[in-house]
């Protein structure tokens, strides 16, 4: 509806993004987007499933009979066989030959295993980057409960990168003699900033174990675990190929498997449990951490999903996403109100090389007055555009973007406690759009036309 508002130059620039390969893919796998005139720009939130993945999985379910694994009856053996082939496919996908693959519910489930099982003690330290998802931040509670210390490496407000000197200093100068865990995201779930994977080796050189949260990184970038060798890696599969939800994995380097101390046992995790002598022997492999019956009907769909992605090639996806993000940033930077004020403030790095598929931004009314993120999300929704707004479970980045001081944060915490959860600071939050393998130039034109419709409006 707003497309007419966009200038020819912008439309031409975006039409250059037309790509026969991805346009064909859009038509064959994601036709529903066009049928319902939907613009989906929340790929970092969750990827979209291709039609063929659903068909392949459903055909497979219809053709076979599956039973609860871990038994030698035929239906059980069939399930076990598919689970194990899928596990191998995951390891191959990440070139992770010397890792265990533990299936979990999602990336948060993977991170929770590390939090629960890492041998924190009074003599331990957890170091995190301020840019982290809450599912990593939450590990500090396990560290605190064992008497350990935790700390954050701050971010630079200008480009949302991590303070490199401070990081090197924190990694090299700690006096801690116990277990040390450094946790950071390979890619920010908010700004899309790709953090330096060489920090893994630096941290190792100073005696740290490394937890790499790869949830936002792996959908559009190659993670080669022969090249970079973090000790623990968290992944959610729906972020890579959209289906099924409810599955992720924790990859644990073989050398650190025994370091994780399982806090309890459950069905499927033990070789032997006695009731009369109160003993138990844990399994010696990934099964130790897969509590109860695994999701045996859905796990094999991961294999079909990874086959689909391999068919396209992560490199091709990465290049596609790169060019779309580049075009979007360029166009968004041009929007100005008649009073000369910039409408969009893009937060994060100037160099697109160091950022992935998402763009985080603030919208301003004329006079440079911030538009609440909720307003933008609502107005976009009215145009059938799905973008995401808020704090994205990443408080560190939001506190940095809005330069919120500690005393203000303490006030907010009290306010939220009193109001039973209500009370976000008026000037918090931002708007995120993220592109993916099903995005096309028509989506970007629709989104930019929507943005253009807000020029000179006070909303």
Ligand X SMILES: Cc1ncc(COP(=O)(O)O)c(C=O)c1O
Which stretches of the chain bind ligand X, using CB under 6 A? 106-108, 133, 135, 185, 189, 213, 215-216, 236
Task: Mention every residue, 6+ apart, whose C-beta is less than 8 A from residue 117.
Answer: 260, 261, 262, 263, 289
- CA distance readout (Å), 293 to 53, 79, 214, 269: 24, 11, 25, 10
Nearest alpha carbon to residue 305 among 222, 246, 240, 245? 240
Complex with ligand X: residue 43 or 93, whichever CB lies closer: 43
Query: Would you give the DSSP letter of residue 47?
Result: P
CB 248 within 8 A of CB 295: no
CA neighbor of 347 nearest in space, from 127, 131, 175: 131
Minimum Å gap between C-beta 131 and ligand X is 9
393 a catalytic residue: yes
Q: Of 247 and 362, which CB lies nearer to ligand X in the complex structure?
A: 247
Minimum distance from CB of 272 to ligand X (Å)? Answer: 32
Q: Tell me the pairing of strands 385-386 and 39-40.
A: parallel
Q: Is the distance from CB of 30 to CB of 47 less than 8 angstroms?
A: no
CA atoms within 13 A on the CB side of 4: 1
Please say which residue, 133 or 140, places its beta carbon nearer to ligand X: 133
Cβ nearer to ligand X, comparing 216 with 444: 216
Closest CA to 185 of 210, 206, 164, 203: 210
Beta strands in 330-398, from DSSP E residues, in sequence order: 344-347, 358-365, 369-370, 385-386, 388-390
- The smaller minimum CB distance to ligand X, of residues 135 and 269, is found at 135
Closest CB 393 distance from ligand X, rounded Å = 7
Closer to ligand X by CB, 392 or 450: give it: 392
Query: Least distance to ligand X from the beta carbon of 383, Å?
Result: 24
- Indicate the burial class of 323 (C-beta count within 10 angstroms; 0-12, 13-18, 19 or more): middle
| Closer residue to ligand X in complex, CB, 107/445 | 107
Residue with smaller CB distance to ligand X, 100 or 112: 112
- How far is Cα 160 from Cα 228, in angstroms, rounded to an integer? 23
Rounded CA-CA distance 218/211 in Å is 15
Q: How far is the CB of 112 from ligand X (least distance, A)?
A: 9
Q: Which residues, including other chains, have CB under 8 Å from residue 319's CB and lie 6 or more apart? A: none
| Comparison of 133 and 180: residue with beta carbon closer to ligand X | 133
- Tokens 């695994």 identify what position? 294
Residue 132: CB minimum distance to ligand X, A = 8
How far apart are the C-alpha atoms of 67 and 209, rounded to whole Å?
38
Question: DSSP string spanning 66-83?
Answer: ---SSSSSHHHHHHHHHH
Closest separation in Å from C-beta 307 to ligand X: 21
The residue number whose beta carbon is nearest to ligand X equals: 189
- C-beta of 45: minimal distance to ligand X in Å? 6
Q: How far is the CB of 184 from ligand X (least distance, A)?
A: 10
Beta bridge partners of residue 362, listed in sequence order: 345
DSSP 8-state assignment for residue 50:
P
Q: Count Cβ atoms below 10 Å from residue 75 Cβ, excluding itself.
A: 14
Say if residues 355 and 325 touch (Cβ distance below 8 Å).
Answer: yes
* Residues with a known catalytic role: 393
């Amino acid at each position: 509806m707003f497309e007419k508002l966009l200038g020819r130059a912008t439309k031409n620039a975006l039409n250059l993004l037309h790509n026969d390969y991805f346009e064909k893919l859009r038509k064959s796998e994601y036709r529903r987007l066009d049928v319902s005139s939907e613009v989906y720009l929340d790929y970092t939130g969750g990827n979209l499933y291709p039609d063929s993945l659903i068909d392949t999985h459903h055909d497979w379910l219809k053709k076979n009979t599956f039973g609860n694994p871990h038994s030698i009856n035929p239906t059980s053996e069939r399930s076990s066989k598919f689970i194990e082939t899928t596990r191998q496919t995951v390891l191959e996908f990440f070139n992770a030959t010397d890792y265990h693959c533990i299936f979990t519910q999602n990336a948060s489930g993977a991170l929770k295993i590390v939090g629960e099982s890492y041998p924190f003690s009074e003599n331990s330290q957890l170091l995190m980057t301020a840019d982290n998802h809450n599912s990593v931040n939450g590990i500090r509670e396990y560290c605190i409960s064992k008497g350990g210390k935790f700390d954050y490496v701050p971010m630079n407000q200008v480009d949302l990168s991590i303070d490199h000197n401070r990081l090197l200093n924190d990694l090299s100068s700690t006096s801690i003699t116990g277990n040390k865990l450094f946790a950071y995201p390979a890619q920010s779930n908010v700004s899309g900033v790709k953090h330096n994977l060489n920090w893994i080796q630096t941290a190792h050189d100073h005696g740290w174990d490394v937890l790499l949260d790869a949830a936002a990184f792996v959908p559009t970038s190659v993670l080669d675990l022969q090249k970079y060798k973090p000790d623990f890696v968290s992944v959610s599969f729906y972020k890579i190929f959209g289906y099924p939800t409810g599955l992720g994995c924790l990859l644990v380097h073989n050398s650190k498997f025994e370091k994780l101390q399982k806090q309890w046992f459950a069905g499927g995790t033990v070789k032997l449990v006695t009731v009369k002598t109160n003993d138990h022997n844990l399994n010696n492999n990934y099964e130790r951490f897969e509590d109860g019956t695994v999701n045996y009907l859905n796990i094999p769909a991961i294999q079909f999903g990874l086959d689909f992605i391999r068919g396209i090639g992560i490199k091709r996806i990465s290049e596609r996403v790169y060019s779309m993000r580049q075009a979007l940033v360029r166009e968004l930077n041009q929007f100005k109100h008649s009073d000369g004020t910039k409408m969009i403030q893009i937060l994060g790095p100037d160099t697109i090389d160091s950022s992935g598929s998402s763009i985080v931004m603030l919208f301003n009314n004329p006079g440079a007055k911030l538009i609440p993120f909720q307003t933008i999300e609502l107005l976009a929704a009215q145009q059938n555009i799905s973008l995401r707004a808020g704090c994205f479970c990443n408080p560190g980045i939001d506190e940095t973007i809005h330069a919120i001081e500690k005393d203000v944060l303490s006030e907010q915490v009290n306010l939220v406690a009193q109001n039973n959860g209500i009370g976000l600071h008026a000037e918090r939050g931002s708007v995120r759009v993220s592109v993916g393998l099903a995005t096309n130039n028509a989506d970007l034109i629709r989104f930019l036309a929507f943005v253009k419709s807000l020029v000179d409006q006070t909303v």
